[in-house]
Structure 1
């Protein structure tokens, strides 16, 4: 069960956009014709205990790993990239990670700037489709999520 089903069950209004199989935020933007600043990318990590940690941030921002670890209440060294098998157990595939997960034990951390982004595009669980949704509704769909300052913005363009 991928992210669209939980969003629909919560009554979140969203549009699903199909596009070619893409894995980077810039490829998604090119496929959908949207600016990078109107996307939310979600990076997936696991802890040594196999807990999924999802970091949701503006598509043009860079994750500050130490800040994510502090927001998650763990040490930086305890974060490892989630592999395809771990993502599959959460109902997702690489290139389509969404902050709304079938893994109810996942820890989700939204960057504090996401709430002000308005209508955004984010992963759907699959790399060949994206979700268009109000950022505030996306965040509300994960009520137990943390919100923290976890990004830096590059001075000279997208991350």
Structure 2
């Protein structure tokens, strides 16, 4: 008998009573593609990068869509060595109810370590991954963060000095 597939982020959020909207769109893999598909500003997206530790623990880093991750800062915030971070593969994401291109800071993996960049909390209403590359979640960032009660907040992102731009995807 096969184990049932883990529930995805929308189901986790619904079970918590969070208020959000699910937006369907063509498969996308980057925040720029999301903002082009949905017509939302890039600075109103939260991208989530997924890693695994040597103990196979999922580590999720949530930062503004236009920011770059500071890997050393993430490792320190998560209490691991920088060299111990490996990108999560499709199989590891599937065990958390997600697929590549749709990673979300909210997951069915209760043991996941989630670190939000300190700037995310002031973003207001945002779009983030839904667990699938063909849909995104629109949610107030306060509800998104509240859905991960064990989340840490740390300065893990480098924000660009100039205004982000959402370019149409060719």
**Alignment pair present for 1:33 and 2:39:** yes
**What displacement does 1:145 show?**
0.5
**What displacement does 1:84 show?**
0.5
Higher Cα Rg, which structure:
2
1:46 to 24, 32, 52: 52
1:11 to 7, 17, 23: 17
What is residue 3 of structure 2 aligned with on the other side? none
What is residue 4 of structure 2 aligned with on the other side? none
What is residue 132 of structure 1 aligned with on the other side? 138
The TM-score with structure 2 as length reference comes to 0.91
What is residue 23 of structure 1 aligned with on the other side? 29
What is residue 83 of structure 1 aligned with on the other side? 89
What is residue 146 of structure 1 aligned with on the other side? 152
Structure 2 residue runs without a partner (length 5+):
1-6, 166-170
**What displacement does 1:123 show?**
0.1
What is residue 2 of structure 1 aligned with on the other side? 8
RMSD: 1.1
Deviations 1:90-133 (A, max 9, x none): 10000000000111100000011111000000000000000000
Alignment of 1:48-127 (within 5 A): 48-127=54-133
Aligned residue pair count: 159
SS at 2:75 equivalent: helix
Conserved in 2, the CA contact under 8 Å of 1:3 and 1:98?
A: yes
Conserved in 2, the CA contact under 8 Å of 1:61 and 1:158?
A: no
**What displacement does 1:45 show?**
0.2
C-alpha distance in 2, partners of 1:158/1:102? 32
C-alpha distance in 2, partners of 1:44/1:85? 12
Conserved in 2, the CA contact under 8 Å of 1:53 and 1:106?
A: yes
